[in-house]
Amino acid sequence: MIPAAFRYERPATIDEALALLAQPEAKALAGGQSLLPLLRLRMAEPELLVDLQDIADLQGVRHDANGIWVGALVRHAELAQSAPWRVLREAAEATGDRQVRRLGTIGGATAHADPAGDLPAALLALHAVVEVVGPGRRRELPIDGFFLGPLTTELAPEELLAGLRLPQPKPGAGSSYRKLRQKASGFAVAGVGAMVRMESGRCVEAGIGVTGVGLAPYAAAAASGRLLGSGLETTDFEAALELLLDGVDVQDDGYASADYRGRMCRLCALEALESAKAEALG
């Protein structure tokens, strides 16, 4: 189908973009790999499309005392090549096809909040912080709780996702991402990002992010909490996996039954945790 008619603007600064987004029925465009298909299907019909590509303040990666800041316009392909965390590299590499990875952005993927997107699972495992800008304000939101439902986040219509704040990898840390891929679309039937950090043979930090299973990507806080203080032995992983789906409405659809999806989620989690542990132990 042909998209409905819309106006197009390409601002050079965040302030210019926010002024445009304050207009009725305005929509931000980052990489376009999620939005453009919706436009073609007329599932989205904005009156104004605000292209963010020229905004320098949304680009690049910075390392400072507060960790790693990744601009919203960083592409999946760049993340797959250079991210300091393996879980991010693997999730970015698992996203879409080569065109999607070369054009799609991490800000766009995070704001789009696809229930089966790969990147959110990695961000949840790393306890990322989302930096949001709006008219006259800037705020930071924990990634846990940012995804409210299918294609729904805490972002207000007049706000932009400016970037993501990530921790620096520390000695003894490891991470990984595993997923069961839908054969037709490549999205995750179940996907799990995992991060662990070991000190003196014990787990002192852990994170588990799950995608493709519930109505939105989520942090499996009870499961990751079960690993703290443990030696990450097989029995510790088994106990954590029992908590992986706590309180989650596991989806039952044409791709997988709820039972199968739950079992595959546990398998992906086990593989991701074992891989993360192996990296943590060097």
What would you measure as the largest C-alpha separation in the chain, in angstroms? 61
d(CA 83, CA 108): 17
Architecture of the CATH domain 7-51: 2-Layer Sandwich (3.30)
pLDDT in tens, 201-253: 999 999 999 999 999 999 999 999 999 999 999 999 999 999 999 999 999 99
The identity of residue 138, as a single letter, is R
Q: Is the pLDDT of residue 34 over 90?
A: no
pLDDT confidence tier of residue 32, bands split at 50, 70 and 90: confident
Q: What are phi and psi of 154, to 5 degrees?
A: -75, -5
Architecture of the CATH domain 61-166: 2-Layer Sandwich (3.30)
No. of H helices and E strands in the chain?
A: 10, 14
Please give the radius of gyration of the chain, using alpha carbons only, rounded to the nearest integer: 19
Mean per-residue pLDDT for 61-66?
Answer: 90
pLDDT in tens, 166-205: 999 999 999 999 999 998 888 999 999 999 999 999 999 9
pLDDT confidence tier of residue 111, bands split at 50, 70 and 90: very high
List of residues 6+ apart from 234 with CB closer than 8 A:
none
SS3 state at 279: helix
Inter-residue contact 244 to 269 (CB < 8 Å): yes
pLDDT confidence tier of residue 42, bands split at 50, 70 and 90: confident
Inter-residue contact 120 to 217 (CB < 8 Å): yes
Mean per-residue pLDDT for 122-129?
Answer: 98
What pLDDT is attached to residue 39? 85
Dihedral-angle region of residue 140 (phi above 0 means left; psi in -120 to 50 means alpha; beta otherwise): beta
Q: Is the pLDDT of residue 1 over 80?
A: no
Domain boundaries, the chain: 7-51, 61-166, 173-280
What pLDDT is attached to residue 2? 84
Dihedral-angle region of residue 91 (phi above 0 means left; psi in -120 to 50 means alpha; beta otherwise): alpha
Q: Is the pLDDT of residue 94 over 80?
A: yes
Domains 61-166 and 173-280 share a fold: no
pLDDT confidence tier of residue 40, bands split at 50, 70 and 90: confident
- Cα distances (angstroms) measured from residue 32 to each of 29, 40, 121, 149: 6, 12, 21, 21
Q: What is the homologous superfamily of the domain 173-280 according to CATH? A: CO dehydrogenase flavoprotein, C-terminal domain (3.30.390.50)
Q: Are strands 152-153 and 147-149 parallel, antiparallel or unpaired?
A: antiparallel
Above pLDDT 70, what percent of the chain? 100
Q: Tell me which H or E stretch contains 23.
A: none
Print burial letters for 242-255: b (CB count within 10 Å at least 16), e (below 16). Answer: ebbbeebebbeeeb
Q: How many CB atoms lie within 10 A of CB 82?
A: 12
Structure-block tokens of residue 95: 């996203």
**125 exposed, middle or buried (CB, 10 Å; 0-12, 13-18, 19+)?**
buried
